[in-house]
């Protein structure tokens, strides 16, 4: 087991209660997900050294940034951390270029200009370098903030609600941009969000936070296949999340065939390329279970699964059935009555029926030209 690039343990009872422990490796995206006021931003600020919880241990690779037991505290300007603030916090008196150059103090003076230009090109703002923040759009400001955070050549990249202040289309583009950056950057990425779509789109790992306490933590597919997270169920509904590859495109029918660890699925999608890696979410409420193979249905997707666990949630009058479909774990939410009628029990083999239209697809944008260029140009 290699050293995690970032490992964090925070504990304090007040004024902002915190009780979390997590680690994040290079190339991973940890989403800290929770309602506003749950302490998400405080966690990021603690990692950056802008906030000092009463008990904390924060390590980046071999470096100790905070250790309250040993009395170690490295001030923020000596931590190699890139932080993209929620409202971007650009320096209003400096141009886009000036903002990025401010984060290049660790580089020799002669290099700073060309590096700053390269960073702005990376976020496709090369032609806006001379503009001040107020002359830029929300999405552009966000990208300047991202370029500035990366210019520092951080050991960890922290994003605080990065899409909260931009409109929907800019949000999609930025998500794609961050997703493709992630693949080229050799650093862990911690993303704070209260929007579940961000989590499904970007996260490899999730930490769910409630009033400063981690209520669940783990790889996204494992976490999303847990039937017992009533908190998540209240917030967004349960649903399994897994990765798949596009193996066929039926352009005429507006459908794509997805191959995943449990077989194939047909899902409606447009503008998705052949062989594209996509992330799939299947809401538990949209999954129907059958004991015998159904016929005469409009349904495309019938998979074979076996029951792993039956979770009865008394608060909801509903039952969540956890199923193994190939090597993927899926969730189905059914009534208690259905469970007793079908006599659903652990180990039972069932047919899993999924409507195509209920499959949520998160496809990376077609805009992938920038991918892989970061390391070459910078």
> Closer CB to another protein, residue 153 or residue 228?
153
Strand order in the sheet with 18-24: 72-73, 63-67, 55-60, 6-12, 18-24, 213-219, 205-210, 29-33, 189-193, 156-160, 81-84
Residue 58 C-beta: closest distance to another protein, Å: 14
Cβ closest to another protein, residue 144 vs residue 232: 144
Q: How far is the CB of 50 from another protein (least distance, A)?
A: 5
Output 94 or 308, the one with its CB closest to another protein.
94
Minimum CB–partner distance for residue 240 and another protein (Å) = 37
Report d(CA 146, CA 126) in Å as an integer: 14
Nearer Cβ to another protein (95/175)? 95
Q: Tell me the closest approach of the beta carbon of residue 57 to another protein, in angstroms.
A: 20
Using the minimum distance from each CB to another protein, give the nearer residue, 106 or 248. 106
Closest approach, Cβ 351 to another protein, in A, equals: 53
The answer to whether 36 touches 146, Cβ cutoff 8 Å, is no
Least distance (Å) between residue 92 CB and another protein: 5
Of 80 and 324, CB closest to another protein? 80
Q: What angle do CA 80, 209, 45 make, to 5 degrees?
A: 25
The footprint of another protein (CB under 8 A) covers: 45, 48-50, 75-79, 81-83, 85-87, 89-93, 102-103, 105-106, 134-135, 148-149, 152
For the chain, what is the largest distance between any 2 Cα atoms, rounded to a whole number of angstroms? 75
- Whichever of 92 and 347 has its CB closer to another protein, that residue is 92
Which residues does 74 contact at the CB level (< 8 Å), separation at least 6? Answer: 49, 63, 64, 65, 66
- Give me the least distance between CB of 173 and another protein, in Å please: 23
Residues 6+ apart with CB under 8 A from 122: 147, 150, 181, 370, 373, 374, 377, 378
Q: Which long-range contacts (CB under 8 A, 24 or more apart) does 85-91 make?
A: 85/145, 85/160, 86/41, 86/160, 86/161, 86/162, 86/164, 86/165, 87/165, 88/133, 88/141, 88/142, 88/144, 88/145, 88/165, 89/145, 90/133, 90/141, 90/144, 90/145, 90/148, 91/133
CB of 241 to another protein, least distance (A): 31
Smaller CB separation from another protein, 44 or 330:
44
């Amino acid at each position: 087991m290699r050293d995690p690039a970032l490992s964090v343990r925070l504990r304090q009872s007040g004024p902002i209660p915190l009780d979390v422990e997590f680690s994040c490796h290079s190339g991973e995206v940890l989403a800290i997900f929770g309602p506003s006021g749950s302490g998400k931003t405080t966690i990021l600020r603690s990692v950056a050294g802008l906030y000092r919880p009463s008990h904390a241990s924060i390590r980046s690779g071999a470096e100790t940034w905070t250790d309250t037991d040993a009395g170690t505290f490295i001030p923020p300007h000596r931590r190699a951390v890139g932080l993209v603030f929620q409202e971007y916090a650009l320096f209003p008196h400096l141009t886009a270029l000036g903002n990025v150059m401010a984060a290049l103090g660790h580089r020799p003076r002669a290099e700073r200009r060309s590096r700053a230009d390269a960073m702005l090109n990376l976020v496709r703002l090369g032609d806006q370098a001379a503009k001040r923040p107020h002359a830029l759009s929300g999405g552009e400001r966000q990208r300047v903030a991202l370029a500035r955070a990366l210019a520092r050549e951080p050991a960890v990249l922290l994003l605080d609600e990065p899409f909260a202040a931009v409109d929907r289309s800019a949000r999609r583009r930025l998500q794609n941009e961050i997703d493709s950056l992630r693949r080229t950057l050799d650093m862990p990425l911690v993303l704070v969000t209260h929007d579940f779509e961000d989590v499904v789109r970007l996260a490899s790992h999730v930490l769910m936070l409630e009033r400063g306490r981690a209520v669940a933590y783990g790889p996204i597919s494992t976490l999303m296949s847990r039937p017992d997270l009533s908190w998540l169920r209240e917030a967004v509904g349960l649903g399994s999340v897994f990765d798949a590859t596009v193996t066929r495109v039926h352009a005429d029918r507006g459908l794509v065939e997805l191959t995943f660890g449990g077989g194939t699925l047909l899902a409606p999608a447009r503008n998705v390329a052949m062989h594209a890696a996509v992330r799939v979410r299947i809401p538990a409420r949209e999954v129907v279970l059958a004991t015998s193979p159904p016929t005469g249905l409009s349904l495309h997707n019938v998979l074979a699964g076996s029951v792993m666990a039956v979770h009865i949630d008394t608060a909801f009058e509903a039952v969540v059935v956890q199923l193994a479909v190939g090597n993927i774990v899926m969730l189905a939410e059914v009534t208690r009555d259905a469970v007793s009628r079908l006599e659903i029990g652990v180990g039972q083999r069932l047919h899993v029926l999924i409507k195509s239209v209920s499959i949520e697809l998160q496809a990376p944008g077609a805009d992938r030209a920038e991918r892989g260029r970061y390391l070459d140009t910078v």
